[in-house]
Amino acid sequence: MTARDYLTIDDFDMEGKTVLVRVDLNVPMDPEDNILDDMRIKSHIPTLRDLEDARVVLLAHQSRAGKSDFTTMRPHAERMSRYLGKEVEYVDDIFGSHARSRITSMKKGDVILLENVRFYAEESLERSSKAHSQTHMVKKLSPVIDIFLNDAFAVSHRSQLSIMGFTEVLPTGAGRVMEKEISSLDRGIKGGECPCVFVLGGAKVDDSLNVTDNVLSNGSVDRVLLTGVVANVMLAASGVNIGKANMDFIESQGYLDQIERGRKLLDKFDGKIGLPIDVALNDDGKRIEVQVEELPSDQLPINDIGLETIVAYSKEIRNAKTVVLNGPAGLSELDPFALGTHEIIKAAVHSEYSIAGGGHISAEIRNLGYEDRFSHLSTGGGACIDYLAGMVLPGIEALRTAAARYRNNP
């Protein structure tokens, strides 16, 4: 989508308005409800700073029913208060009389965070925005709200209530996180400077092949370099005997059918897909490097790309003007097999524009202290991969529909 087929904060006069903002504060927490990683909380501070003349009501979720970290939003309000430099008040209600009374008594500059929206069962149902707009939550909250902003990119691949419902009944726009995600990812897959290289890894083979097909089909990406389990699948597709241990793992994950798909992609995009020339095997925790032609090697699992592949990939990445990383190159949580992931990250910071998807690769970048050296670190895991694969994200489509409605009837 283009940069201006949705509205942003800049399209509204926020002075004195009551603004409902769907944020994504879903963070790792320990059993005592202590926040372990607050990157997502920090990411929304620019949005809140740009709404300092408004009355801001935040909607968010933490985990989901049945999980040990399915808890209240109190710790999130406390952590956000610290970063914002003023109180973010926690309100232990979502749309009942207590929440509505607190909203109507707010003063300009106030910020409140309502209770975990997933405490309301209808939140997790995936339905149309029209159907969601008929729920009690929307009917109770919308009369006390002037403007709705979706700043939760990481949840916008789900057609859930707090993402979709208010877009039908309120003037709607994107917050700064959403705006940056769309413009940055678009630059990677549509408007990035060439050479543009994607480096895809991790264990979600079908997702990575969806992205490979999308970005090579639209002609905006020069090369896709594969690592991780997806590389093992594609090595098998190219005729390499990767060994029983690796084939068994691929089967256990339900990806055997992706091998035939991989063959078709290799034929369709001849020379555009880079595969490892050597790999690192895990021999009871010891790293053993072998050439791809030497496979299979006993029954050892492939847990990383090899040194020669690291050197070759790093050269391509360094020479690229635009680089997009998604997924680790190997079993990066084990030190001997983190080398590929770490070296690819180090190479990517030398490109003019570098993007990293959410999840494991972003965590590794932060662990290395390279966060500030990337042009964009996505806040979304599933949402990011879906967007890169060219899929429609319901939350973003709802922004587009709302913008068209608002422009026709401002």
Q: Binding site membership for substrate: which residues?
A: 24-26, 40, 61-64, 118, 158
Distance between CA atoms of residues 234 and 224, nearest Å = 12
Report the binding-site residues: 24-26, 40, 61-64, 118, 158, 333, 358-361
Distance between CA atoms of residues 390 and 158, nearest Å = 15
Report the binding-site residues for (2R)-3-phosphoglycerate: 40, 118, 158
Rounded to 5 degrees, what are φ and ψ at 19?
-115, 125
Distance between CA atoms of residues 383 and 357, nearest Å = 9
Kindly report the CA angle at 241 between 235 and 245, in degrees rounded to 5? 95
- Peptide bond before 195: cis, by omega within 30 degrees of 0? yes
CA dist 283 → 66, 297, 301, 355 (Å): 37, 10, 8, 33
Distance between CA atoms of residues 275 and 78, nearest Å = 47
Report the binding-site residues for ATP: 333, 358-361
Write the single-letter amino acid at 111. V
Contact 353, 375 (CB under 8 A): yes
Distance between CA atoms of residues 363 and 331, nearest Å = 13
